[in-house]
Amino acid sequence: MADQSDATRADLLRENVVEKLVARGEIVSDEVERVMRGIPRHLFTPEASLDDAYSAYNAVVTKRNASGVAVSSVSAPQVQAFMLEQADVRPGMRVLEVGSGGLNAAYLAELVGDRGEVTSVDIDAEVTDRAARLLKEYGYPQVRVVTGDAHGGVPDHAPYDRIIVTVGAWDIPVAWITQLVDRGRLVVPLRMRGLMRSVAFQRVGDHLVSTSARICGFVPMQGIGAHESQVLLITGTDEVTLRFDDGLPTEPSLLDNAVRTPRAELWTGVTIRRGVPVDTLQLFMATALPGFCTMSVNPDLDSGLVAPYNRRFSLASVSEDGRNFAYLTPRPAADAAFFEYGVHALGPEAEAFAERVAGFLITWDRKHRGGPGPRIAVYPAGTPDTRLSHPPGSRVLEKAHSRVVLSWPEHPAGRGDSEYASEKEIDRHV
């Protein structure tokens, strides 16, 4: 009787989460709605309670390392929904999934149908054993589960119409391009200067061009594709930590003097309504600022040296000469429905550096706000500049195996706030 009651409750929870995602526009196609309604999510997340399994915006951690850090998970329903929509998987397609959990592979198997193929690869044998067992137990023995480093793709079953990556990637290996059919699609949580976006790419010849990007968070890639960011403790303790994704400043010790100077504060008049996402602002600042990094403050050691709105995560930058640093922070505006953005800076030229950083913020507000975000292209490492499609103002991120080019179309009518997220999301991502 209890089992029947649990099954009925699970059905209701599944219906509720799908209805919520449809209402919010995360699910837009009949196909994705069908598979997310039809497959019992809780069967693939036995580690979780029914409430946790069907939480719309929370992943279920399935494995942690010895330090307690999550190394494998089943993504939140919201993230699975929009990544499936980004992928646009159709019947008869051949699909490679990088990162095995079981549930997403089951969704893919339903989408490709009897004429399609799904291959799921993960570097961790414990993870693939779990995924293969659950897939077989719940009706998807045809999904091919492979243990191996996905840096090389899975050439034995290539080419693929779609490659969907469900772990955070700092780089795009060449195999993910060459094993994709021309005009095929790669969906990958790509880390760019410390910010992660689920980017849908289309293969065009020897490179990739983006079609959409969504803010997301994933456990990081292991194996050859692993990449550690570098941290700088600017006070000699972990009170204030700057995190760099592409290398530390040339002379980090120069910032020791910056913390001994008065803090300059500059408010820009740029306001954003509470509840409006700031993901394009983040990416623009990350690609525009030469010394971009992110800043966090240890609340137990906080002396007030810096005063960000969000102590866990703030956009920051170090000047080219390495002597000044600044960070973006919002404050409640006169109209309580809005935040006003400003810049705090420390260093011998703090006021001038604050003005420079504020200039980029104002440029985003006037030319790119409300726009579609950047066009992102990925070329193999070593591709000469003459073959890159990058208009003036583009930013080229040099990775180990790829060159990532971000360019921003102007959107002068973009001051309208058209998309909404929760205030919690703004707090988390500012």
Q: Which residues are designated catalytic? A: 75
Is the separation of the CB atoms in 257 and 348 below 8 Å?
yes
Q: Quote the CA–CA distance of 143 and 121 in Å, as a whole number.
A: 11
Is the separation of the CB atoms in 375 and 209 below 8 Å?
yes
List, as one string, the DSSP characters of 144-164: EEEES-GGG--GGG--EEEEE
Is the separation of the CB atoms in 311 and 302 below 8 Å?
yes
Closest by CA position to 222, among listed 121, 74, 134: 121
Distance from the Cα of residue 351 to its chain's centroid: 32
Q: Quote the CA–CA distance of 123 and 50 in Å, as a whole number.
A: 28
Label residues 72-94 b or e (16+ Cβ within 10 Å = b): bbbbbbbbbbbbbbbbbbeeebb
Is the separation of the CB atoms in 254 and 117 below 8 Å?
no
Longest dimension (CA), the chain: 72
Strand partners, 316: 293, 327
Query: Under 8 Å CB-to-CB from 205, ≥6 apart: which residues?
Result: 182
Query: CA 357, 291, 194 angle in degrees (round to 5)?
Result: 105
Q: Quote the CA–CA distance of 305 and 324 in Å, as a whole number.
A: 14
3-state secondary structure 306-345: CCCCCCCCEEEEECCCCCCEEEEEEEECCCCCEEEEEEEE
345 three-state secondary structure? strand
The phi and psi torsions of 188 (rounded to 5 degrees) equal -145, 135
The phi and psi torsions of 385 (rounded to 5 degrees) equal -55, -35
Cis link prior to 220 (omega < 30° from 0)? no
The phi and psi torsions of 190 (rounded to 5 degrees) equal -100, 130
H/E stretch holding 286 reads helix 279-288
- Work out the number of other CB atoms within 10 angstroms of the CB of residue 262: 8
- Work out the number of other CB atoms within 10 angstroms of the CB of residue 297: 23
